[in-house]
Amino acid sequence: MTDVSKQESIAAAGAVYYLFGATGDLARRKLFPALFSLYKEGKLAEDFAVVGLARRPRTNEQFREDVHESIKEFCRYKVDDALWSKFAEHFVYMPLDINNVEGFRELKGLTEQLDAKFGIPGNRLFYLALAPDLFGPVSFNLRDGGLLETQGWSRLVIEKPFGYDLESARKLNKQLNQVFQEEQIYRIDHYLGKEMVQNIQVLRFSNAFFEPLWNNKHIANVQITLAETVGVEERGGYYDKSGALRDMVQNHLLQMLSMIAMEPPSRLHPEDIRDEKVKALRSLRPFATDEEVARNVVRGQYTAGALKGKDLTGYREEDSVNPESKTETYVGARVFVDNFRWAGVPFYIRTGKRLPVKTTEVVIEFKNVPDNVLFANRHDLSPNLLVIRVNPMEGIYIKINAKKPGVDNVIQPVSMEFCQSCQIGINTPEAYERLIYDAARGESTYFTRWDEVAQAWAFVDRMAQAWREDNSELHTYAAGSWGPARMDEMLEEDGFFWWPVNGQEEDNVIWISGSSK
Ligand code: BG6
């Protein structure tokens, strides 16, 4: 019989959570629902408090109402009244001018009351859902306002973008380091909180039949797609300064690439894992000249088009976008990881707005068998594929060759699929739930360390630098299409093509196991 008293608690240590930017979109769509899910699952016990902070005046009641609305709209759990009332008691709001240290002193007073009321052991989690130029000033005022003088731990959670390029990222990091140690800084890349991104490690390192093949002897190329159907929506002002390179490639795409390319860590310790990731990033072959960038990187911008019968405007006509903007909404690239494992294997990466489907997928294309005694010269063999579906479908499928039933000597590609989202439906924890929970437990594996961020900036800065020259080519693509044709040509040059991703039609596939189809 299970001894309940001896079961390990799953609750994170009690803490005060400070949400800077509490009236913003991220808090409403992601953070409040994530906190509620954690509470419902017992991952937050009763010894916690959430302080909403923003400039706007709001009473505790109004703030709780905002939180309630957000949870009803965005949480994966249905909100029942009894649980909501208990949860809501933990939420307070304080208007704060983040440039004024006096407010931070007041916040310290409020914190002491909350510690006493909820029995919180002095732990502090500062979540900055703010523009990055505010990270420094807020950190200084946290220190000067006395909020870091505590018996418990203090952690800083920050959102991307972490800088605009390597130089600005360095400056920002330097400011943060005046107040926080690297171990206290949790840089969010929400892709690292996604179930299937975390699964890459498990898949690679716990299966006998992947890791031995995971190298240039057996892998022909790797394709990583991060496609979105949305345009820039109401974020034109931010996006026009950022573009896809800084918004998606520097972080989400390179993080996924590093998880695919990294060597096995010697221990499952956050620092060992991040050491391996940074080594993979360091092995990325830098583009030496503008010509190399032009040959290997495609930057594109969408023009007017249509998707699912709906007319769409071009990027330059979007709200808050410069009508002559050269900002890229698509980046595709051929990159190489120059080490023993990956020498010669192209990694094709692409991301774009206003593409035909919303999907994030990694396709590993294997080399063909060296000799095919039974069917040599009579049939083209389709290569084996391993596909990791990250988003919104979660799962893994493998494409192999098998004999066509009833017909002699005819081979056809067939697929085996593990569809995780079909099995647990919408109830996979959201990335933000996992990341907030991890930060509260001091588990930093799925947060980006400074050297990873710096390495990724150094790599993409070279592309941005080439694009700053006016003569660098900006390709266009119609909204609702698969991006500039140049990217397809690049794969053709190498004898490859983009494998269809989820949502695109694929011929000749028989789903033989675990299929959702
Ligand atoms: C964000 C980008 O980091 O990721 C957005 O700023 C993008 O532009 C979003 O839309 C995509 O995230 P997801 O989880 O919806 O694939």
Contact partners, residue 325, CB within 8 Å, separation at least 6: 240, 301, 315, 316
Rounded average pLDDT over 439-468: 96
Using the predicted structure, report yes or no on whether residue 147 has a pLDDT greater than 90.
Answer: yes
Share of the chain above pLDDT 90, in %: 83
**Which of 228, 240, 350, 359 should be mutated for ligand 1, with most atoms under 8 A from CB?**
228
Catalytic residue selected from 68, 218, 252, 269: 252
Using the predicted structure, report yes or no on whether residue 463 has a pLDDT greater than 70.
Answer: yes
Using the predicted structure, report yes or no on whether residue 4 has a pLDDT greater than 60.
Answer: no
Rounded average pLDDT over 81-99: 97
Atom in ligand 1 nearest the alpha carbon of residue 235: 8
CA of 330 from ligand 1 middle (Å) equals 13
Rounded average pLDDT over 240-254: 97
CA of 347 from ligand 1 middle (Å) equals 21
Using the predicted structure, report yes or no on whether residue 47 has a pLDDT greater than 80.
Answer: yes
Provide the pLDDT for residue 382. Answer: 87
Q: Which residue has the higher pLDDT, 330 or 422?
A: 330
Provide the pLDDT for residue 504. Answer: 76
CA of 252 from ligand 1 middle (Å) equals 9
Evaluate whether 427 touches 410 at the Cβ level (below 8 Å).
no
The whole-angstrom distance between residue 378's C-alpha and the CA centroid of its chain comes to 44
Provide the pLDDT for residue 375. Answer: 59
Provide the pLDDT for residue 372. Answer: 67
Question: Sheet holding 510-511: strands in order across?
Answer: 475-478, 297-303, 330-336, 346-352, 219-227, 359-366, 385-391, 395-403, 411-419, 510-511
pLDDT band at 73 (very low <50, low <70, confident <90, very high): very high
CA of 206 from ligand 1 middle (Å) equals 29
Report the range of poorest mean pLDDT among 70-79, 116-125, 293-302, 370-379. Answer: 370-379
Using the predicted structure, report yes or no on whether residue 250 has a pLDDT greater than 90.
Answer: yes
Q: Is the CB of 228 under 6 A from ligand 1?
A: yes
Question: Sheet holding 185-187: strands in order across?
Answer: 91-95, 49-54, 16-20, 124-128, 154-158, 185-187
pLDDT band at 516 (very low <50, low <70, confident <90, very high): very low
Nearest CA to ligand 1 atom 16: 391
Using the predicted structure, report yes or no on whether residue 510 has a pLDDT greater than 80.
Answer: no
pLDDT band at 413 (very low <50, low <70, confident <90, very high): confident
pTM for the model = 0.93
Using the predicted structure, report yes or no on whether residue 378 has a pLDDT greater than 90.
Answer: no
Q: Which residue has the higher pLDDT, 448 or 2?
A: 448
Length of the chain (residues): 517
Q: Which residue has the higher pLDDT, 486 or 413?
A: 486
Q: Is the CB of 391 under 6 A from ligand 1?
A: yes
Span 23-40, pLDDT tens digits: 999 999 999 999 999 999
Share of the chain above pLDDT 70, in %: 93
Q: Is the CB of 361 under 6 A from ligand 1?
A: no
Evaluate whether 270 touches 443 at the Cβ level (below 8 Å).
yes
Q: Is the CB of 430 under 6 A from ligand 1?
A: no
Provide the pLDDT for residue 468. Answer: 87
CA of 192 from ligand 1 middle (Å) equals 12
Q: What is the CB-side half-sphere exposure of residue 180 using CA atoms within 13 A?
A: 30
Helix (H) or strand (E) holding 330: strand 330-336
* Helix, strand or coil, per DSSP, at residue 237: helix
The torsion angles phi and psi of 312, rounded to 5 degrees, stand at -125, 145
Span 158-203, pLDDT tens digits: 999 999 999 999 999 999 999 999 999 999 999 999 999 999 999 9
Atom in ligand 1 nearest the alpha carbon of residue 194: 14
Provide the pLDDT for residue 1. Answer: 37
Exposed e or buried b for every residue in 468-503, given b needs 16+ CB within 10 A? eeeebeebbbbbbbbbbebbbebbeeeebebbebbe
- H/E/C letters for each residue in 372-427? CCCCCCCCCCCCCEEEEEEECCCEEEEEEEEECCCCCCCEEEEEEEEEHHHHHHHH
Domains and CATH numbers, the chain: 3-159 (3.40.50.720), 193-493 (3.30.360.10)
Nearest CA to ligand 1 atom 14: 191
Provide the pLDDT for residue 333. Answer: 98
Contact partners, residue 348, CB within 8 Å, separation at least 6: 221, 222, 223, 224, 332, 333, 334, 490, 491, 496, 498
Rounded average pLDDT over 272-276: 96
Q: Is 190 a catalytic residue?
A: no
**Which of 234, 252, 318, 329 should be mutated for ligand 1, with most atoms under 8 A from CB?**
252
Atom in ligand 1 nearest the alpha carbon of residue 252: 3
Provide the pLDDT for residue 470. Answer: 65
Which candidate, 176, 195, 178, places its Cα nearest to that of 187? 176
**Which of 190, 230, 360 should be mutated for ligand 1, with most atoms under 8 A from CB?**
190
Atom in ligand 1 nearest the alpha carbon of residue 251: 3
Using the predicted structure, report yes or no on whether residue 403 has a pLDDT greater than 70.
Answer: yes
Atom in ligand 1 nearest the alpha carbon of residue 247: 6
